[in-house]
Amino acid sequence: MTLTAPQRTPPAAVPVPARRKRPPKEFTGTRTLISASDLRRGWRRTAYWAVLAVVTILFVLVFFFPVYWMATGALKSPAELVSPTPTLFPRTFHPETYATAWSQMRVARYFANTALYALGGWAIQLAVAVTAAYALSTLRPVLGNVVLGAMLASLMLPAAALLVPAYLTVSHVPLIGVNLLNTPWALWLPGAANAFNVYILKRFFDQIPSDLIDSASLDGAGPLRTLWSVVLPLARPVLGVVSIFAVIGMWKDFLWPLLVLQDPDTQTLSVALSRLSATSQVPQNVMMAGLVIASVPMIAIFLIFQRSIISGLSAGAMKG
Amino acid sequence: MRKLTDNLRAYAFLAAGLLCFGLFSWYPLVRGVLLSFQQVNFVTDPQWVGLDNFRVLFADPLFVTAWKNTLLFTGIALVFGYLLPFAIAILLNELRHFQAFFRIAVYLPVMLPPIVVVLLWQFFYDPGNGLFNAILSGLHLPESQWTQSPRTAMLSLVLVSTWANLGGATLIYLAGLGNIPGELYEAAELDGASVWQRIRHVTIPQMRFVLLVLLLLQVIATMQVFLEPYQLTGTSNPDTITVMVLIYRYAFTVNNDFGLAAAMSVLLFLVLGLFSALYLRLTRSAAD
């Protein structure tokens, strides 16, 4: 599979000579359910603008307003936040609430934990998936297909099925006999057993012309050198998409960290927020600030990488 | 000899993957099945107890309740989380303006950490001073107890989950809709098909595959619902306890009985495995 955006007909951007009544260029794109010419005239034109306005307002209210409420809620005074007549704009501003959450609710600690887990998990996931996919795609050892099949079979396992036995395994790893509970490894190692990554990377490596790899080895490059200087540079876009989804996945994960990180000092932001919400010691506005801080990295990633995320999602779900 | 070194080298590259998958995917799978027939107490060795765990399960009134609740959640979530994104996608595909804005808006909740969404909605749902009841009373409508009444609890959980997740399905549908050839709609229109008939006879048949895949994904995901009931209604509320919450409860809170939890996991796995196998078969054959 390729993780590029699905093929779309480019919108007709032919320059039209300036005439007074030229149709807006939005109405000349790809044909969909309702034809563009229908939308250009008469009552349908009015209806279109009405629907567009309603949908826009609804989307702002439904999808943006809760996030706005959260970010401004943290700025309000505790009394204003729970007042029976909610206010759209904070009457008084308390930006120090964010500082309180950061230091007194120890969000700083949990934030650092989560960042460490996400970045370490990303590096390990990538290292494991790249080496495995490269071995299966290019080096092709005996029984390689059996290994690939067994890895892909794990995609069929719902996370739920492994929860209890995986917890027991992490608490006492066979062969090595160590207890990984409350260490980053409890997230990193199970996270690296990600068949989806191996599958995506292998499919991409399969498309690299074998001439390129052969000529590298004729030049005396060993497999590691070929992987590093020939394969990986070509795979940069795929690696990017896999990386983004790996970091998002680690940041959003809840149930597994809840089980394996029960020591409060080691907890992720998500697990800590859930635990703190159950105690009544945290004021609502401080909690709200904690929620905002937990969201900021994800929203930043989304705004920076939205194209890769949206196209990767569409391609991945259908062909994964 | 050359072949042997090549193979050894390849397996050296595979070693990390084999170790991770072996220890944290393949071994736990086997261990989970074995565990469902065992009694574990961490002091002595596990004991084989045959089908005892399953007998205890079937005798537990929460067992039936949890399955009923899970099916109810999945059912309601199908209406909201499955059909609604399709309708939204069809609508958005017709709108010629602000396309990037709509896509970002609908996917924004998916990017938020799930616990953030659930805690935020916990504030909204608060029957005393939550935003929803404030809005309802502002509109002179009767207030609701939301998650705290048996009648509305499950629906409230589905609403949160839908808000948090429908963006993914919507974007996937939109990508699918973009691939439908425009000539089909033109031909249908020439034959005098109304908008509704065009949806019925062009859009839906063309989207058959996407609809089926997302149906399976949706069922697999919602049958494993955990966070919403765990956070909003607690692990011992019979109105909303789900299979995953019960597994958690068996293993980590009330019973501390890993054998019992493993038995429940095996049952859930058997049900979900069916859907997973179907999903993989569909998508693999489409990719090749």
Task: Dump pLDDT digits (tens) for B48-62.
Answer: 888 889 999 999 999
Among B153, B156, B177, B171, smallest CA distance to B80 is for B156
Interface touch B287/A1, C-beta < 8 Å: yes
- pLDDT value at residue A112: 96
| CB distance B25 to A154 below 8 Å | yes
User: The tokens of A103 are what?
Assistant: 């230091």
Question: Taking the CB of residue A36, how many other CB atoms lie within 10 A of it?
Answer: 18
Q: Is the CB of B32 less than 8 angstroms away from the CB of A165?
A: yes
Mean pLDDT of A153-176: 86
Q: What is the Cα–Cα distance from B100 to A141, expressed in whole angstroms?
A: 46
User: Which residues in chain A have Cβ-Cβ distances shorter than 8 Å to B123?
Assistant: 73, 284, 288
- Contact at 8 Å (CB) between B113 and A248? no
- State the pLDDT at residue A9: 34
CA distance B203 to A124: 43
Q: How many residues does chain A have?
A: 320
Fold entry, domain A102-319: MetI-like fold (1.10.3720)
Confidence at residue A28, expressed as pLDDT on a 0 to 100 scale: 52
Residues B201-249: tens digit of each pLDDT: 999 999 998 898 889 889 989 999 999 999 999 888 888 999 999 999 9
Assess whether pLDDT exceeds 80 at residue A16.
no
**Are the CB atoms for A221 and A155 separated by under 8 Å?**
no
Compute the average pLDDT of residues B162-177.
92
Output the CATH code of domain B52-287.
1.10.3720.10
CA-to-CA distance for A111 and A293, rounded, in angstroms? 8
HSE at residue B115, side-chain half, CA atoms within 13 A, is 26
**Smallest Cα distance from B99 to chain A, Å:** 10
Residues of B in contact with A88 (CB under 8 A): none
Per-residue confidence band for B2, with pLDDT thresholds at 50, 70 and 90: low
Mean pLDDT of chain A: 85
Structure-token pair, residue B214: 């997302």
Residues of CATH 1.10.3720.10 domain(s) within chain A? 102-319
**Assembly ipTM:** 0.91
Residues of A in contact with B134 (CB under 8 A): 84-86
Report pLDDT for A140.
87
Q: Would you call B116 and A273 a contact, using CB atoms and an 8 Å cutoff?
A: yes
Which residues of chain B are within 8 Å of residue A7 when distances are taken between CB atoms? 179
What was the pLDDT predicted at B244? 94
pLDDT, chain B, mean? 90
Spell out the domain ranges in chain B.
Answer: 52-287
For residue A17, give the DSSP letter.
Answer: P
pLDDT of res. A230 = 87
Q: What is the pLDDT of residues A42-95, one digit of tens each?
A: 888 888 899 999 999 999 999 999 999 999 999 998 888 887 778 888 888 999
CB contact under 8 A, A314 and B174: yes
Residue A239: partners with Cβ closer than 8 Å, 6 or more residues away: A126, A130, A201, A232
CA dist A288 and A265 (Å) reads 21
Chain B residue with minimal CA distance to A285?
B123
Per the model's pLDDT, the better-predicted residue between A20 and B40 turns out to be: B40
Residue B194 φ/ψ region, left for φ over 0, alpha for ψ in the -120 to 50 degree band, beta for the rest: beta
The DSSP secondary structure of chain B, one letter per residue, reads: -HHHHHHHHHHHHHHHHHHHHIIIIIHHHHHHHHHTTEE--SSS--EE-TTHHHHHHHH-HHHHHHHHHHHHHHHHHIIIIIIHHHHHHHHHHH--S-HHHHHHHHHHHHHS-HHHHHHHHHHHH-TTT-HHHHHHHHTTPPP--GGGSTTTHHHHHHHHHHHHHHHHHHHHHHHHHHTS-HHHHHHHHHTT--HHHHIIIIIHHHTHHHHHHHHHHHHHHHHT--HHIIIII-TT-TTT--HHHHHHIIIIISS--HHHHHHHHHHHHHHHHHHHHHHHHHHHHHH-
